[in-house]
Amino acid sequence: MAIERPGNPSMRTKIMISCALLSLGLAPAALATPRVQPPPSSQGLETQPAQTEAPREHVAPVAPPRGQLLYENHCLSCHESAAHIRSNRNTHSLPELRGWVRHWAEYSRLPWGKEEVEDVVRFLNSRYYKFESR
3-state helix, strand, coil in the chain (%, to 5): 55, 0, 45
CB 75 within 8 A of CB 106: no
pLDDT value at residue 133: 66
pLDDT in tens, 47-77: 555 566 667 777 778 889 999 999 999 998 8
Average of per-residue pLDDT across 22-43: 59
Q: How confident is the model at residue 1 (pLDDT cuts 50, 70, 90)?
A: low
pLDDT over threshold 80, residue 8? no
**Burial classification of residue 65, based on how many CB atoms lie within 10 Å of its CB (0-12 exposed, 13-18 middle, 19 or more buried):** middle
Average of per-residue pLDDT across 89-116: 94
CB 98 within 8 A of CB 121: yes
